[in-house]
Amino acid sequence: MMKTSFPILISAPGAGLGHLVRACALALRLAERGLPARVLSQSPYAEGLARLTGCAIDRIPPAGWPGEVAGYVARLDPALVVVDTFPWGIRGEWRGEEHAKRRFVYLARRLRLDEYVNAGSACGASRPGVPPGHGRPRRPPYSDTRQGAHAEGKTTEVPRAAWNTHSPQVKHVIVAEPLAEAHEALIAAGATETCRLPGRIRFPAERCDTPLPRELDKLLDTGKLRLIVHSGPEEEVRTLVAAAQRETAAPGDTPPALIAPKPIAGLDLPTFEYFPASRLFDRAARIITGAGYNTMAEGAVYAEKHVAVPFPRRFDDQPARLAGPPAGPDDGGHAAASFIERLCSMLTAPTAAVFRDSRRGRGAMFRRRR
């Protein structure tokens, strides 16, 4: 693998589509500026999305994560790493001493801080096949602030582990949507530079001219289609179907249709595997989705016909996203790419030359290595 071909690495952990689609959206916006980026993912959808989008995507399955990440990064040797959602990785993969001198950008999305900060694997618990304490940075991403038991006869509160504001991962931050106050405060305490997006990052649907199935085209032609879009667990899909069926429908109206990666057993609905689903939103009468980051980004353009249902997630706070202030209808991908481009221009001369060389070969962005 040529070290100069992809000087930007976007780390998109997570076994679903959410992190991966957001990473691809950012990679495509960077490519428009002549900055090739490579995406690292756990998702089983990586190969299919690489084929549909033209993005360069490498997959390390969850079983190999985080153990194989350090070796992969050493081979790629990116000049800049964008970490999505989790500043030190979903399993602490960015907390090692080997990453201490790397340049990072933290892409901050809503995050359940207590759950993340207190997660054992992120706070220094041993990784599979790695002895406890191995590879910890000089100043660990989290420091233990647990107190003794009593003060003046009362049990003191047991504080959670602390967010390390001194780590390089949180010095340059892109705030990708409105965050909780505690999250904002921790970023403010450590960041030297922050970019607030004018809207959530949206996938540039115009970059994927996916053929439309004839049956789906006919359903959309009615102008009355209630479109359900979800790639999550089957029980969540059923919840969205129930929500769609509760939507007002006159006798003879078109039944709902489902956009999902696979059919749901026992669900008597026309089901289609289609990406990106946002290409269909103009023609749908109603759009029913979860309240994840990407669907809320797409739904902002169609607020009058978008119905969002929040689902529980370990690290994502969907109810807070739905109840919080709107992020705005603008596509934040342009501002995020511009911020990263400016950081690239400030790199040291040898590293900046890497970016200039990669721009000359910008077509490599769309040549996927196997």
Domain ranges for the chain, please list them: 8-203+331-366, 210-323
Q: Do domains 8-203+331-366 and 210-323 have the same CATH topology?
A: yes
pLDDT for 327 equals: 78
pLDDT for 246 equals: 83
SS3 53: helix
Q: How far apart are the first and last CA of the chain?
A: 11
- Triad 28, 68, 54: Cα angle to 5°: 20
pLDDT for 98 equals: 84
What are the mean pLDDT values of the chain's consecutive 10-residue runs (370 residues total)? 66 94 98 96 95 96 92 94 95 88 95 85 37 35 34 36 84 96 94 96 94 96 95 94 79 84 89 96 96 95 94 95 86 97 77 50 36
Task: Read off the pLDDT of residues 293-307 as tens digits, 9 standing for 90 and up.
Answer: 999 999 999 999 999
Report phi then psi at 325, rounded to 5. Answer: -65, 150
Residues forming a β-bridge with 259: 229, 272
pLDDT for 159 equals: 37
Answer yes or no: are the C-beta atoms of 259 and 227 closer than 8 Å. yes
Q: Which CATH architecture has domain 8-203+331-366?
A: 3-Layer(aba) Sandwich (3.40)
What strand order describes the sheet that includes 193-196? 56-59, 37-41, 8-12, 80-84, 104-108, 172-175, 193-196
pLDDT for 132 equals: 31
The fold adopted by the segment(s) 210-323 is Rossmann fold (3.40.50)
289/370 Cα distance (integer angstroms): 33
Instruction: State how beta strands 104-108 and 172-175 pair.
Output: parallel
- List, as one string, the DSSP characters of 250-310: -TTPPPPEEE-SS--TT--S-EE--S-GGGGGGG-SEEEEE--HHHHHHHGGGGGGEEEE-
Report phi then psi at 322, rounded to 5. Answer: -70, -35
Residues forming a β-bridge with 292: none
SS3 219: helix
91/320 Cα distance (integer angstroms): 24
pLDDT for 254 equals: 77
* Global model pTM greater than 0.95: no
Buried b (16+ CB within 10 A) or exposed e, 208-243: beeeeeeebeebbeeebbbbbbbbbeeeebebbbeb
pLDDT for 249 equals: 60
Answer yes or no: are the C-beta atoms of 20 and 14 closer than 8 Å. yes
